[in-house]
Structure 1
Amino acid sequence: MENTVVKPTEHARLIEENDLGGRNLTGKAHLTITGVALLWSLYQLWIASPFPFWFDFLILNDTVQRSIHLAFALALVFLTFPAAARSRRDQIPITDIVLSLVAVGTCFYTVVNYESVVLRSGGSRTQLEFFVAFAGLGLLLEATRRALGLPMVIIGVVFIAYAFLGPYMPEIISHRGLSLNRFTEHMWLSTEGIFGLPLGVSSGFIFLYVLFGSLLDKAGAGNYFIQLSFGLLGHLRGGPAKAAVISSALTGMISGSAIANVVTTGTFTIPLMKRVGFSPEKAGAIEVSSSINGQIMPPIMGAAAFLMAEFVGISYFEVITHAFIPAFISYFGLYCIVHIEALKGRMSVLERAVTYSGTQRLMRSILTIILLSSLAFGLYLLFEAIGAAFGDNALIVTVLILAALYLGLIFASRRYPEIEVDDPDAPLLTVPAPLPIFLAGLFYILPIGVLVWCLMIERFSPALSVSWAILSIFVLLLTQKPLIALAHKRPVDAALWREGAQDLISGLIAGARNMTGVAVAMAAAGIIVGVVSATGLGLLMTEIIQTLSGGSFFLMMLLTAGMCVVLGMGLPTTANYIVVAAIMAHPFVTLAAEQGIEVPPIAVHLFVFYFGLLSGTTPPVAIDAFAGAAVARSDPLRTSLIAFVYGLRTAILPFIFVLNPALLLIGIQSAWQFAMVIGSSLIAMVIFAAGTQGYFFTRSRLWESVTLVVIAILLLRPATLLDAVQPPFESEPAQVLLQLADGLKGEADVRMIAEGENLSGTIVSKTIMLTLTGDGGQSAEDVLYESAGLGVEPEGDTLLVTDLSFDGSAQKAGLDYDWEILTLERSVDRINPNWLFLPLLTIVAMIIALQRTRASRRIENV
């Protein structure tokens, strides 16, 4: 049983059931579904292109685009996802056809009656509109149940009930409640609810990137990354597991589904991991952990990056810039865990097809890095020169150069064997040489290069960037088979061109079908977003978390993390991000500010995103881990528990980058500081892996493991230890505020501790940060009121808040009438926290020395 694996046909069935519905249809039913899916892809490409404006045809506004987008998704769900597990899979019941048509009709109501719906915004709605809204909402929830399961439906129903039952809720979460008219308009007939931001991002960005990934995989890039990773790392101890980590990072960049990543790469890597000595549970857990982390790896990040850009209000380029270092560190940590597991198990090493000495391998690696870096830099300079020299004609010249490069790489690949999909059951005695694999499929990297270039160099919009990348894949799919045949001097016939066209059409269909569950999830998440915006739940959650945490910022982070894991259970990557971000992100920032901690919004959104992802390995609804267990033929619960332990290295990162935004490349002042951040983080991950796995140079004792974990956390944020020894602030009397403001010239940042009643009547304490400005000739009262909207009067040793201007910075910071300013806090000069690296690393060196001594004694005794 241990050596049985999931066959390619069975892994395709797993993807079919989890992501595509699982119906096995033929004849007209199959043609209908493929036709709808193909039409959806063509529609999305049309609205993303400039063609509507060139031909003045089908120029659609955002509301209409989103309505048609959801109509396609609902139609495909009812046609492809059975109503129940026992339903027949070889036919579409009449009821599902009717439900599909009704669902499309509810979406098209706004399309057909757009002007009347918009013109009567805020007015009374008709009986027909009530029916359309509630029928559409009910069908959306049913589609969500079929595509995503019950968790998302339960969350949606709870939020709908909360919208109507607000007056009957406990005081801390009560609200006035929504009328039927308001609910209908807000949730279905406007862009505030179901057709709001999540569905807009789904229609505008996510579909195109999912389509990009499907087309690239159809071209063969996914298999290329797997083979290349194995060729590079398969010869190392535990090499197949290390290859799984790297290949999942690469395929995760082009996959919108963690489950698809698990079963695609896992079909190849899990049997190899088991063959070299990993247990089925550990093999499945390693694949699950690396596949889930593919969702945090830029540039695609499971499509959540586009939502973050919209929620936070920054560019897509900034999102992936901030997200790269934590993702890289997380993958490095998993690589270290895999290496330690291989050492603990004394696993065998596979031989390489071509062997080199250590010096030869080092020189080849250095030369390869230099060559690729030089090539990339040379191409950058070339395209910049083309832009300067040819002006408006630069695009034509660039396309010609890319075409020549593509042809050159195709014909250069003829010197190497063609890349084929390996049979996981076939015996494997040697690891193939990586260089022939790399050169044989180097042309697969061109579309990714086009995407990265457009995003990061040209700074095009995400939609325009991926449109160019998709166009390059079109060319690749249509021409690669005939050109490869020509390069290998094989006859080129019409069948090869037909195969290319069929691959293109199959990719378009697969992209739409892969998108079905995602689009439905986005629409269902719009229920949560709409209810939060209509009821003010985000502000209420601030009070709830503050009450539960008792004012402790660290406890608040733990509560937020726990809520993210619970809310994310059973949801796909992008949906769980929307749910937790809509509910938790604003309270997090607000409460951090009240503690006097300035947390960048992008750090908060990455925090909730990371913990939403962890739900994929958290029992009892660990859907990603269960998929990995199915491939590995292992116990699902044990697999999910091991994957959860492996995921702890990812769980500590959000806490660190919230408190130390330098990990997100925020506030980096110099190359030296950047090197310190990266270097200390990588060392910390090695130590953390050793601590959590109970093995460094030999099996660790308990005190050694605990010490290593603590040191790893301190290396990620050394100021934690320094704060305990030397507090960063010292208190001053509240009246110093008046002295500071009196005659202030220029700008001064003030940090103060204030106390007063919150909305529920509880006495709370907050840390307030204000920026005061003055011209040197103003009184303290004028400076405070003009720069912060604050009026105070002395009262004993404190200052009493007597006046607040509406929407002033003092009111925004959380001050209220009759609050008291207790003390001021002033920053103190203290040593650089980075000096603490020396004693921490000295302790690590001592543990290493102890372990090496024990290991050598054990060898002598043997």
Structure 2
Amino acid sequence: MSEPIEDPREALMRFDRDNGLLGWSVAIFAVAFGIWHVVTNVYWIEPGKFQNAIHFAGFAFLASMLYSPFGARSETTFARAFDLAYGLAVAAAALWIAWGENAVYDRTLAVTGQSWQFTPLDWIAGFLLIFAAIDLSRRVSGWVIPILIVLSLSYILFLGGHLPGVFRAASLPVDDVLFRSLYNDEGMFGILADISSTNITLFMIFGGFLVVSGASNFVIEISKIVAGRIKGGAAFVAVISSALTGTISGSAVANTASTGVITIPLMKANGFRPQFAGGVEAAASTGGGIMPPIMGAGAFVMASYTGIPYGTIVAVSVVPAIIYFLSVAFIVRIEAMKYDAGAEIDMTVDRAKMFSGGLVFVIPLTVMVWMLLSGVTPSYAACWAIASLIGTSWATSVLAMILPKGTFKPVTMGPIKIGEALISGVRSSIMVAILLVSIGIMNNAIVTSGVGNGFSLMIAQWSQGSLVLAIALIAFASLVLGMGLPVTAAYIILAILTAPALAGLMADSLVVDALVVGISDPTQAALFFLVDHPLATQVGAGMSPEHAWSLVAAIPFELAVTIRPVLVDPAIQMTFLLTAHMIIFWLSQDSNVTPPVCLAAFAAAGIAGSRPMATGFESWKIAKGLYVVPLLFAYTPLISGDWHEVLQIGGFALFGVYATNALIQWYSEGPIGPVFAVMLVAGAVGAYWPLNWAANLAGAALVVTVIVLSGRRARAQEAVVA
């Protein structure tokens, strides 16, 4: 449900909705607000809470002005005045709360044994912020987040005391809930707001600069060169351009809107079915959320929650992203052969646009990647990437004057263009900023009540120790949440609730290994005496794997979180935590392409002129990599292995992915029958088998054999018909 990065002039007009003083004032504020984000992340460091409060204050004001609740009457004088007054009031409340934090502490410490000492103005500002979080999140994303916020507040205020079992929680007084929601690290202006104010907004602004500077021209033109003369070339252009655009926006809907208007008509002209053309664009654009370096804000959230460096998360995401995009390319090839679509058409390349756009695409991204690898913060790297982009645009303008006419078609980033880029980036950040701050209220409720542990226990019990069943449960939960939540919001909620359980299930395999060998350390063995199981006293002698799994299944959740750190190396635990988060993050992407609510597919259907639901099912079939790769995370060292292990797993997995696509389509280079199907199944199993050269080579050989033989059969049938 992410907002697309608009054409900058359209973005400017959205701010300047009455072409008057108010519209221009809002536009100028957006430019200044974007500059403030750059300055405060490089030179002028604000205190954390105050920076986050200013961040929310600015975006709350912009959200109030752009997402009016008055609908068709939003242009009336009363509506504009109300939106302006409401936005300014919420902004003032955020600043007041941040400025008054120390005063609250001082007043409370001066009155020993009393509740938090809020002044009447504190109460008004605090309740207004809570209301604004509910209201503005409804405006930008629908009713799901507001309902969850209300439920989470009700849970810690009074509802938790009436629930049974692990979900029972003590009720807290109103002043305590308000204080925690506003000032805790898990609250509105805490960890999630940090991620938004320091990283996400800057990367969105960088994306705005890339769009305005003409980098998107390079994406389309280079895609034409790479894939334009291949059968099905127009669809391959969609895949490549969406992969490259993913490095700019990280948003499925943004990718669909920006590249789909070019690639979908090309695919239809190339002979592809309208719903397939829309499905390819939606599935390929969904890859924008998993494509480094931006990854739809997920990498920043993951780094914050796991403590793993952002650069590490980006590095381990490269090979999985390649697998996903090639999985989409495979099904494009199969579709082109099956329906004889994608004959060569004219896709003339504008080399001047490609060269000028290429420089402002490649150089800034290279600067960003180099700085990230050198260990600087993502926000610092994004700021310098913006600076390098501006400098590169000026350099291309100079080259255009020196070189023969038509060699370059540069976009000079002068003051007007920089303003457009800042407006585009700030506007595309509004929804994410509002949601991350608002979700802080839910995050605080989950942490304060401990309900996350209860949810993790439920996942562990329902899965009965089965990792694949736990992944299936999380996939279902992500699909349900994704019907009403943006991908990033769905990932955050699922990660808070299920990542510990998933990481724990992976760690349990090592606990079982230790039990099979026998635990000789008496201190470690004594921990199992607290387990109500007949084998608990026999852990020193060793046992069969079946008995070990039986004992592990009987360990209470509260005791398991104590035993695992003792028996499992901390570095391995961190790897399991990263793996769990990567699984959840990938599964959360499926809401973009899975009916009944799949916004990327619906956006593509609108461009393709196809039925939305049919396009949704088509995109779901094409995006099967979203389910294959998480299983590779869980059962292979795709994340934790050495580079040669990762390349072996990823390389041979491509044969398995192709075989899976061919089986679903019941077509390869030609029709497949039962014998070919058996060969593909066996080939997929061998190709997916982790780090077994014999199985991998045999599986790949079987898949290649089917490709060659089915192609020969198809050509033979065509010759007979001819």
SS in 1 for 2:414: helix
Q: Note if contact 2:435-2:489 (Cα within 8 Å) is conserved in structure 1.
A: yes
Q: Distance in 1 between matches of 2:40 and 2:717?
A: 69
Aligned to 2:365: 448
RMSD across aligned positions (CA) = 3.0
Aligned to 1:117: 104
For the pair 1:296 / 2:283, whether they are aligned, the reply is no
Cα distance, 1:489–1:240 mapped onto 2, change above 3 Å: closer
Query: Which amino acid in structure 1 is aligned with residue 192 of structure 2?
Result: P
Question: Which runs of structure 2 are paired with 1:644-655 in the superposition (5 Å)?
Answer: 644-655=620-631
Q: Note if contact 2:278-2:607 (Cα within 8 Å) is conserved in structure 1.
A: yes
> 1:230 is matched with which residue: 212, 224, 236?
224
Question: Which runs of structure 2 are paired with 1:407-556 in the superposition (5 Å)?
Answer: 429-432=346-349, 438-444=354-360, 445-456=362-373, 458-477=374-393, 480-481=396-397, 484-485=400-401, 487-488=403-404, 500-556=414-470
Aligned residues: 645
SS in 2 for 1:232: helix
Cα distance, 1:251–1:620 mapped onto 2, change above 3 Å: same
> 1:667 is matched with which residue: 634, 637, 641?
641
> 1:213 is matched with which residue: 200, 207, 213?
207
Aligned to 1:28: 21
Q: Distance in 2 between matches of 1:468 and 1:13?
A: 23
Cα distance, 1:15–1:288 mapped onto 2, change above 3 Å: farther
Cα distance, 1:61–1:703 mapped onto 2, change above 3 Å: farther
> 2:155 is matched with which residue: 162, 172, 184?
162
SS in 1 for 2:343: coil
Cα distance, 1:590–1:538 mapped onto 2, change above 3 Å: farther
Cα distance, 1:16–1:616 mapped onto 2, change above 3 Å: farther
Aligned to 1:697: 669
SS in 1 for 2:133: helix
- Using the aligned pairs only, state the percent identity: 28
Question: Which runs of structure 2 are paired with 1:308-457 in the superposition (5 Å)?
Answer: 308-350=302-344, 429-432=346-349, 438-444=354-360, 445-456=362-373
Query: Which amino acid in structure 1 is aligned with residue 391 of structure 2?
Result: V
Q: Note if contact 1:542-1:591 (Cα within 8 Å) is conserved in structure 2.
A: no
Query: Which amino acid in structure 2 is aligned with residue 338 of structure 1?
Result: V
Which protein, 1 or 2, shows the higher relative CO under an 8 Å CA cutoff with sep ≥ 6?
2
* CA deviation vs aligned residue, 1:568-602 (integer Å, no higher than 9, x gap): 33333322221221222112112333454876211
SS in 2 for 1:663: coil
Aligned to 2:169: 175
Q: Aligned-pair distance for 1:180?
A: 1.0
Aligned to 2:59: 73
> 2:126 is matched with which residue: 133, 150, 169?
133
* CA deviation vs aligned residue, 1:485-529 (integer Å, no higher than 9, x gap): 454579xxxxx97x7221011111211111111101111221222
Q: Aligned-pair distance for 1:32?
A: 2.1
Query: Which amino acid in structure 2 is aligned with residue 148 of structure 1?
Result: S
Q: Aligned-pair distance for 1:691?
A: 1.9
Q: Distance in 2 between matches of 1:86 and 1:702?
A: 59
Q: Distance in 2 between matches of 1:331 and 1:66?
A: 36
- More displaced, 644-653 or 128-137? 128-137
Aligned to 2:633: 657
Query: Which amino acid in structure 1 is aligned with residue 258 of structure 2?
Result: T
Q: Aligned-pair distance for 1:630?
A: 1.4
Q: Distance in 1 between matches of 2:253 and 2:199?
A: 21
Q: Note if contact 2:212-2:417 (Cα within 8 Å) is conserved in structure 1.
A: yes
Q: Aligned-pair distance for 1:469?
A: 0.9
> 1:581 is matched with which residue: 473, 495, 500?
495
Cα distance, 1:239–1:641 mapped onto 2, change above 3 Å: same
* CA deviation vs aligned residue, 1:651-675 (integer Å, no higher than 9, x gap): 1110221121x222x132x74x344
Q: Distance in 1 between matches of 2:697 and 2:263?
A: 40
Q: Distance in 2 between matches of 1:192 and 1:71?
A: 18
Report the TM-score when normalising by structure 2: 0.83
Q: Distance in 2 between matches of 1:714 and 1:584?
A: 31
Q: Aligned-pair distance for 1:700?
A: 2.5
Q: Distance in 2 between matches of 1:705 and 1:162?
A: 52
Q: Aligned-pair distance for 1:693?
A: 2.0
Q: Note if contact 1:117-1:189 (Cα within 8 Å) is conserved in structure 2.
A: no
Cα distance, 1:222–1:588 mapped onto 2, change above 3 Å: same
Aligned to 1:187: 181
Q: Distance in 1 between matches of 2:448 and 2:301?
A: 20
SS in 2 for 1:605: helix
Q: Distance in 2 between matches of 1:158 and 1:21?
A: 34
Cα distance, 1:710–1:525 mapped onto 2, change above 3 Å: farther
Cα distance, 1:259–1:709 mapped onto 2, change above 3 Å: farther
Q: Note if contact 2:680-2:703 (Cα within 8 Å) is conserved in structure 1.
A: yes
Q: Distance in 1 between matches of 2:340 and 2:454?
A: 54
SS in 2 for 1:585: helix
Bigger Cα Rg: 1
* CA deviation vs aligned residue, 1:316-339 (integer Å, no higher than 9, x gap): 111111111111111111111111
Q: Aligned-pair distance for 1:702?
A: 6.3
Query: Which amino acid in structure 2 is aligned with residue 61 of structure 1?
Result: P
For the pair 1:198 / 2:174, whether they are aligned, the reply is no
Q: Distance in 1 between matches of 2:163 and 2:179?
A: 23
Cα distance, 1:530–1:702 mapped onto 2, change above 3 Å: farther
* CA deviation vs aligned residue, 1:178-204 (integer Å, no higher than 9, x gap): 321221011113332111211101101
Q: Aligned-pair distance for 1:253?
A: 0.5
- The structure richer in strand per residue is 1
* CA deviation vs aligned residue, 1:112-146 (integer Å, no higher than 9, x gap): 32321354678513243333222211111111111
Q: Distance in 2 between matches of 1:450 and 1:843?
A: 43
Q: Note if contact 2:195-2:300 (Cα within 8 Å) is conserved in structure 1.
A: yes
Q: Distance in 1 between matches of 2:584 and 2:14?
A: 29
Q: Distance in 2 between matches of 1:22 and 1:45?
A: 21
Q: Distance in 1 between matches of 2:694 and 2:356?
A: 48
Aligned to 2:519: none
Query: Which amino acid in structure 2 is aligned with residue 93 of structure 1?
Result: R
* CA deviation vs aligned residue, 1:3-36 (integer Å, no higher than 9, x gap): xxxxxxx99599979x997984321221122022
Q: Aligned-pair distance for 1:304?
A: 1.4
Q: Which runs of 5+ in 1 are unaligned?
A: 1-9, 53-58, 352-428, 491-495, 720-831
Cα distance, 1:76–1:430 mapped onto 2, change above 3 Å: closer
Query: Which amino acid in structure 1 is aligned with residue 104 of structure 2?
Result: V
Q: Note if contact 2:64-2:83 (Cα within 8 Å) is conserved in structure 1.
A: yes
SS in 1 for 2:183: coil
For the pair 1:269 / 2:263, whether they are aligned, the reply is yes
Aligned to 1:791: none
Aligned to 1:683: 655
Cα distance, 1:706–1:582 mapped onto 2, change above 3 Å: farther
Q: Distance in 1 between matches of 2:678 and 2:198?
A: 48
Cα distance, 1:473–1:848 mapped onto 2, change above 3 Å: closer
Q: Note if contact 1:478-1:501 (Cα within 8 Å) is conserved in structure 2.
A: no
Report the TM-score when normalising by structure 1: 0.70
Q: Aligned-pair distance for 1:835?
A: 2.7
Query: Which amino acid in structure 2 is aligned with residue 269 of structure 1?
Result: T
Query: Which amino acid in structure 2 is aligned with residue 573 of structure 1?
Result: V
Aligned to 2:507: 593
Q: Aligned-pair distance for 1:475?
A: 2.5
* CA deviation vs aligned residue, 1:323-377 (integer Å, no higher than 9, x gap): 11111111111111111111112124325xxxxxxxxxxxxxxxxxxxxxxxxxx
Query: Which amino acid in structure 1 is aligned with residue 603 of structure 2?
Result: A
Aligned to 1:630: 606
Q: Distance in 1 between matches of 2:272 and 2:498?
A: 39
* CA deviation vs aligned residue, 1:232-262 (integer Å, no higher than 9, x gap): 2112111111011111111110114321211
Q: Distance in 1 between matches of 2:326 and 2:191?
A: 34
Q: Distance in 1 between matches of 2:708 and 2:420?
A: 58
